Amino acid sequence: MTMDRRTFLTRSGALAVVAAGGRFGVDLLSPFADVAGATANAHASLPPGTPIVILIDLQGGNDAANMLISPNDPWYYDQNQGHGGVAIPEDQLLALPGTSYALHPSLSWTASRYATKGDVAFVRGPGENVMHDFSHFASMRYRQVASFSGSVGTGWLGRFNDMVSPNNPFASISTVGVHPALVGANTSVLSVPDIQYFTFDVDWQWQDSWLTEWQAMSAPAWPTASATHAAEISLSDTFQAQSTVFNTWNDTMAGTFDNNTVAQQLAQAAMMITAGIPSQTYVVSYDGFDTHGGESDAESTLFGQLDAALEAFFAALEGSPRANDVFIYMSSEFGRQQTSNASGGCDHGQAGTDVLIGPKVKGGLYGEQPDTHPSARLDDALVPTVDFRSVYATIINHLSGNTAVSKDILFGIYEDLRIFF
């Protein structure tokens, strides 16, 4: 038997349905709201002062040597064994006060933030010294799961959420698909590419079969088996999450962000954070950093869009209850080689640069600059000086307020870089 919408809504404990152009959204009130770990969690809030991380994944291998620039390094401007072919002219660099480093000219807001707020931290030389893999896919996996074992199926932030926020439907949010770093064993990942269109949709040609399957799962009456309880709870949480996220859309805030990939993703995150979505972990995916050729133009665009998006993001949070809780963490699967190629780019490297920004960040330089001498390189790539898991441990310790939990999440003890107040 096929249920009509009214019967479906009645059986499901639904509060409302919105239909337009063949689309419908359902806001459910689970009949099992008193079950531990069920929809009561959906409306939980983060206590004031709880840290929130926005990981910006710079996909493709960011050329760290052109982001955080060391103009006094003799190999940076060298035309034969250095970055000379893609190096930024010295008169265009944005100097970082009190250091011998500078930023790419398209990162003007970031440079200003470093100078005025003092809450921008640069980690020099993060990477892995275990596999020395130059493959995007392998290196991304190592970073995402924080392990070199092929048997680990969860991400580092997913395991964090398993520990501190199990069964919370708002535990983590990814703005492009489901980012592997957020995948946990017991917590869901909300994929929110665009809040305006974040609705539960079943195409008209599948509606009858979908409703039939729903009915079969709940017939002949509300089930009592724990496994089916879990299914009902999961579906109910899904609908509640949809409705809650959809209602965070903010026209005014949206208008302050540019219309490009990274800006729009950060806009979604800003809206959800300021509206009180109880997630501690967000991931934004920003690709285009695989600059084997035409790097100069590509970097100007990529860094320029990123810089403007960061400015809009922190402006959107200013004055909100969460303004002091949020920090940005920017990272990439690896850096690029030190010697530029004949195509005006650089090939896959190893050591990179991580960036953290936020009011609780102690600005400055962390880690040791990799040795750029040709004899110290690995197939022309800079050898990492900081285990990337030390950066993760530092972040997990701050998110949890407990220096003991990162050991279990990262399968080992890693140095805390003391980046946060």
Predicted pLDDT of residue 229: 55
252-281: average pLDDT: 97
Predicted pLDDT of residue 98: 97
Structure confidence at residue 233 as a pLDDT band (50, 70, 90) = low
Structure confidence at residue 223 as a pLDDT band (50, 70, 90) = very low
Closest CA to 278 of 188, 409, 351, 408: 188
Predicted pLDDT of residue 41: 45
Q: What is the pLDDT of residues 353-363, one digit of tens each?
A: 999 999 999 99
pLDDT at 40 > cutoff 60:
no
Q: What is the pLDDT of residues 104-117, one digit of tens each?
A: 999 999 999 999 99
In CATH, the architecture of 44-200+244-410 is 3-Layer(aba) Sandwich (3.40)
Predicted pLDDT of residue 243: 86
Reduced 3-state DSSP string for the chain: CCCCHHHHHHHHCEEEEEEECCEEEEEECCCCCCCCCCHHHHHCCCCCCCCEEEEEEECCCCCHHHCEECCCCCCCCCCCCCCCCCCCCHHHCEECCCCCCEECCCCHHHHHHHHHCCCEEEEECEECCCCCCCCHHHHHHHHHHCCCCCCCCCCHHHHHHHHHCCCCCCCEEECCCCCHHHCCCCCCEEECCCHHHCCCCCCHHHHHHHHHHHHHHHCCCCCCCHHHHHHHHHHHHHHHHHHHHHCCCCHHHHCCCCCCHHHHHHHHHHHHHHHCCCCCEEEEEECCCCCCCCHHHHHHHHHHHHHHHHHHHHHHHCCCCCCCCEEEEEECCCCECCCCCCCCCCCECCCCEEEEECCCECCEEECCCCCCCHHHCECCECCCCEEHHHHHHHHHHHHHCCCCHHHHHHCCCCCCCCCEC
- Domains of the chain, by residue range, sit at 44-200+244-410
